[in-house]
Amino acid sequence: MREITYVKAFTESLMQLMAEDDNIVVIGEDVAHYGGVFHAFDGLWKAYGEKRVIDTPISEMGFIGMGVGAAARGLRPVCDLMFFDFIGVALDQLYNQAAKLKYMFGGDVTVPLTLTTAGGAGLSAGPQHSQSLEAWLAHVPGLKVALPSSPYDVKGLMVAAVRDDNPTVVVLNKRMLGTKGPVPEEIYEIPLGQAGTVRSGRDVTVIAVGRMVAEAMTAAEELGKSGVEVEVIDVRTVQPLDSQTILDSVRRTNRALVVHEAVTFGGIGAEIASQIQEEAFDYLDAPVLRIGAPFSPVPFSPVLERAYIPDSNRIADGVRRLLERSGG
Amino acid sequence: MSNPAEQDATSGVEPEVLRDLHRRMVRIRLFEEEAGKLMEGGRMPGFLHLYVGQEAVAAGVMATLRPDDVITSTHRGHGHAVAKGADLRYMYAELFGKQTGYCKGRGGSMHINDLSIGMLGANGIVGGGIPHAVGAAFAAVYKGQDSVAVPFFGDGATNIGAFHESANLAAVLHLPVLFVCENNGYSEFTPQERHMLLKDVADRAASYGMPGEIVDGMDAVAVYLAAQRLVERARAGEGPALLEAKTYRFYDHQGVKGLRIPYRSQEEIDTWKERDAITSLEQRMVDAKLAAQDELEKVWSDTREEIAAAISFAEQSPDPDPAHLLDNVYTV
């Protein structure tokens, strides 16, 4: 299969989605003429014109809210929030409006809005351009949140998100934009709420979010050399969370480690660990281990940032600790 | 304020329009007063933000709109819904939290909506609905329709980012939006002079390159004429505008008796009540011999009957079933 980059897979998903559905419009800052600051929207304006690809003022609350209204009136807007960190200036339109209209209006209004954004650390972008805030959004009933971990997933999850009738946030990982991987040329969907078992193993289950899937795979590779078989699960979406796939795996491996780039405290790992102990306590040979960022803003200095972001070494160490703890 | 030509009895407006304005205002007034009684009597749960006093604004603007024109509303939204043509039975049912309510008991007083009449919902977040109206206008233009969108909001909302971002977006995208500010002089309990230095909200329009007009919000005919002009302008593709209606709420920010902490003088309240939009329109219609007193009274009595039936419908309606608590969290 041909290989394309993570960001190219994103662009291709929109190119194909817009061809199949005239109601899809792309709205955001610098998405039309300039093609987006990460080139994620390159070519769309040329292909679909300014009627369907709209540059906006720097008004995230305004244009996401406009997307909510347009969605309620039958369009299928894709709004782009340049950096995940900017969500604060627009949050009302997402969590009080997009997420709640269906429910609080008694089911009469549907909001098929997709919000695309770029999150994650590792580019020395500093405290306000590097965050992983998915747990905030996963906490809001009415929203769906996807964090693609590969070019293949970017396209499949984007297609599912845009076709979904619920407000859905797709968080790209900035550091992966140039990562290449196999991506089918035809349009395809990865269902929202279906985790992927990206590596099978019988000793420990590592549940990873976004770019941490790649780090977990590296750790699993390394551990495999010493005979430790790690199962790696890519959650793909933190809302809905595919608890079943996670629990089934943990019941087989009896050990679980959750890893994400967001700070550990109150992260999605806390929810996953809690669900495991509630539903699979008797299967566990060791407490569920969480690995995430320390409780601090994301630092700028490359040295500090490397120390901040979880990596394959920390994941491998965690797996070893779990095995030691349980006499594995 | 309305120009001198508009200050004569009927301003050349068709009698049918005057009757329409009158009927819309009476329906709002009685709906709200009965709702107030129900709340005071402990028969209705939740908050209640009464629209009484501001009827001329909702009636005047709505009389210029078509069913496919979209409005968004505020926490003080009953008047907009009634004037847009909402079914009073489903409104009261929602106020009671019943399954037959507009929101199936999931929204309450602050979230009445009915897309079939272009009512894209009242909103409990100040300024929250304004961008939705911009989106509705965007969708209309996108689909080649000539409908317009009208967000209603108060003077206080014009201090929030959602208003400014929406106004600028609508202007720069040249969308058919009529921003209607109901300036009742108070941002909750804070008078206008303490929440903005401008005397006229309409002045804000200049910042966005759109026309801003002021109208007497206690005069339904004046509101109607101003809105008609600006709505037609938007419909003709000439872009958005801001209409500021100077008005007053007769009751407190919330509830009938409010918190009983005085923040406006009785003299001020009485002065505005002397300008009651319904009484003054009735006077003008009678003076101009466009309606007999008994015709006007029949509107009140018919509406009272309709409202009594609506309340009865609401009270007898079933409560929502807790087994369906999670319905509509997601579209499945």
Ranges of CATH 3.40.50.920 domains, chain A: 196-323
Question: Out of A61, A110, A166, whose CB is closest to B165?
Answer: A61
**Closest residue in A to B100 (Cα–Cα):** A106
Residue type, A90: A
- Top CATH class, B4-319: alpha beta
Using a CB–CB cutoff of 8 Å, tell me whether B88 touches chain A: no
Q: Is A60 a catalytic residue?
A: yes
Contacts of B107 in chain A (CB under 8 A): 104-106
- Give the Cα separation of A300 and A126 in Å (integer): 4
Q: Which helix (H) or strand (E) holds B277?
A: helix B277-287
Mutate to test the interface with B, among A105, A113, A143, A237 (most CBs of B within 10 A): A105
Alpha carbons B79 and B278: distance in angstroms, whole number: 14
- Six-digit token pair at A204? 């420990």
Strands A24-28 and A76-81: parallel
**Parallel/antiparallel/unpaired status of strands A76-81 and A144-146:** unpaired
Tell me how many helices (H) and strands (E) chain B has: 11, 7
Rounded to the nearest 5 degrees, what angle is found at the Cα of A138, between the Cα atoms of A137 and A140?
70
Contacts for B304 with CB less than 8 Å, ≥ 6 apart:
B30
Query: What amino acid is encoded at A319 in this protein?
Result: V
Rounded Cα distance between B222 and B224, Å, is 5
- Decide: residue A302, CB within 10 A, 0-12 exposed, 13-18 middle, 19+ buried: exposed
CA angle in degrees (0–180, nearest 5) for B272-B274-B277: 80
The ipTM (two decimal places) reads 0.95
Which residues of chain A fall below pLDDT 50? none
CATH of A196-323, one of 3.40.50.1820, 3.40.50.920, 3.20.20.70, 3.40.190.10: 3.40.50.920
Amino acid in the structure at residue A230: V
Task: Please choose, from the candidates B163, B172, B94, B103, the residue with its C-alpha nearest in 3D space to the C-alpha of residue B133.
Answer: B163
The C-alpha atoms of residue B273 and residue B295 are separated, in whole angstroms, by: 23
Which residues from A are below 8 Å from B165, CB to CB? 57, 59, 61-63, 65
Q: What is the pLDDT of residue B5?
A: 40
Chain B residues with CB inside 8 Å of A51's CB?
A: 142
Q: In which residue ranges of chain A is CATH 3.40.50.970 found?
A: 3-182
Amino acid at A263: V
Residue B9's pLDDT is 58
Which three-class secondary structure string do you get for chain A? CCEEEHHHHHHHHHHHHHHHCCCEEEEECCCCCCCCCCCCCCCHHHHHHHHHEEECCCCHHHHHHHHHHHHHCCCEEEEEECCHHHHHHCHHHHHHHHCCHHHHCCCCCCCCCEEEEEECCCCCCCCCCCCCCHHHHHCCCCCEEECCCCHHHHHHHHHHHHHCCCCEEEEEEHHHCCCEEECCCCCCCCCCCCCEEEECCCCEEEEECCCHHHHHHHHHHHHHCCCCCEEEEECCEEECCCHHHHHHHHHHHCCEEEEEEEECCCCHHHHHHHHHHHHHHHHCCCCCEEEEECCCCCCCCHHHHHHHCCCHHHHHHHHHHHHHHCCC
Give the three-state DSSP class for B13.
Answer: coil
Residue B95 touches partner A, C-beta closer than 8 Å: no
Taking the CA of residue B130 and the nearest CA in chain A, the distance in Å comes to 8
For B271, residues 6+ apart whose C-beta sits below 8 A from its C-beta are none
How far apart, in Å, are the Cα atoms of A157 and each of A16, A81, A189?
A: 13, 17, 6
pLDDT of residue B8: 54
Interface contact A109-B115, CB threshold 8 A: yes
Q: What is the pLDDT of residues B256-299, one digit of tens each?
A: 888 878 899 999 999 999 999 999 999 999 999 999 999 999 99
Residue-wise pLDDT tens digits, B87-102: 999 999 999 999 999 9
Among the listed residues A60, A134, A231, A271, the single catalytic one is: A60
Contact A244, A218 (CB under 8 A): no
Q: B173 at the A interface (CB within 8 A)?
A: yes
Measured between alpha carbons, how far is A312 from A224 in angstroms, rounded to an integer?
13
What pLDDT is stored for residue B257 in this prediction?
A: 85
Among left, alpha and beta (phi > 0; psi -120 to 50; other), residue B262 is beta
Tell if the CB–CB gap between A66 and B120 is shorter than 8 Å: no
Q: Which residue from B107, B114, B169 is facing A62, i.e. has the nearest CB?
A: B169
By C-alpha distance, which of A201, A210, A137 is closest to A179? A210
Q: Choosing among B96, B104, B165, B173, which should be mutated to test the A contact, i.e. which has the most A CBs within 10 A?
A: B165
Tell me, what DSSP letter sits at residue B160? S
CA dihedral B40, B43, B48, B51 (to 10 degrees): -70
Tell me whether residue B109 is exposed, middle or buried, using C-beta atoms within 10 angstroms of its C-beta: 0 to 12, 13 to 18, 19 or more: buried
Best CA proximity match to B22, nearest among B323, B306, B283: B283
Largest CA distance in chain B: 60
Cross-chain residue pair A108–B330, CB shorter than 8 Å: no
**Number of other CB atoms surrounding residue B332 within 10 Å:** 7
Alpha-carbon gap, residue B136 to B148, rounded angstroms: 8
pLDDT tens-digit readout, A266-320: 999 999 999 999 999 999 999 999 999 999 999 999 999 999 999 999 999 999 9
Token readout for A267 is 């992260």
**Token pair listed for A309:** 């972001």
State how far residue B195 is from chain A, nearest Cα, in angstroms.
22
Q: What is the pLDDT of residue B4?
A: 44
Residues of B in contact with A53 (CB under 8 A): none
A62 to B121: CB separation less than 8 angstroms, yes or no: no
Q: Do the Cβ atoms of A70 and B173 come within 8 Å?
A: no
- Interface residues of chain A, partner chain B, Cβ below 8 Å: 25, 51, 54, 56-57, 59, 61-75, 77, 89, 92-93, 96-97, 101-110, 112, 141-142, 144, 165-166
Answer whether B106 sits within 8 Å of A103, measured CB to CB. yes
Tell me, what amino acid is at B13?
A: V
Inspect the interface and report whether the beta carbons of B72 and A69 lie closer than 8 Å: yes
User: Which residue has 């590097």 as its token pair?
Assistant: A130
Cα A121 → chain centroid = 13
The domain defined by A3-182 carries CATH number 3.40.50.970: yes
Q: According to the model, what pLDDT value does residue B7 have?
A: 46
User: What are phi and psi for residue B188, nearest 5 degrees?
Assistant: 55, -100
Cα B282-B288-B291 angle, rounded to 5 deg? 55
Report d(CA A184, CA A49) in Å as an integer. Answer: 26
User: What share of chain B has pLDDT > 90, as a percent?
Assistant: 94
Q: Chain A: nearest CA to B174, how far in angstroms? A: 12
Distances from the Cα of A179 to the Cα of A13, A167, A184, angstroms: 16, 27, 16
Question: In which order are the strands placed within the sheet that holds B212-216?
Answer: B70-72, B149-154, B178-183, B241-246, B212-216
Amino acid identity at A63: F
Is A189 annotated as catalytic? no
Please indicate whether, in this complex, the C-beta atoms of B135 and A57 are within 8 angstroms of each other. Answer: no
Contact assignment for B143 to A74 by CB distance below 8 Å? yes
Q: Is any Cβ of chain A less than 8 angstroms from the Cβ of B13?
A: no
Instruction: Give yes or no for B169 touching A (CB within 8 A).
Output: yes
> In residues, how long is chain A?
328
Measure A55 CA to nearest chain B CA, in Å.
9
Report residues of chain B scoring pLDDT below 50: 1-7
Give residues 127 to 166 of B whose Cβ lies within 8 Å of A: 128, 130-140, 142-143, 149, 161-162, 165-166
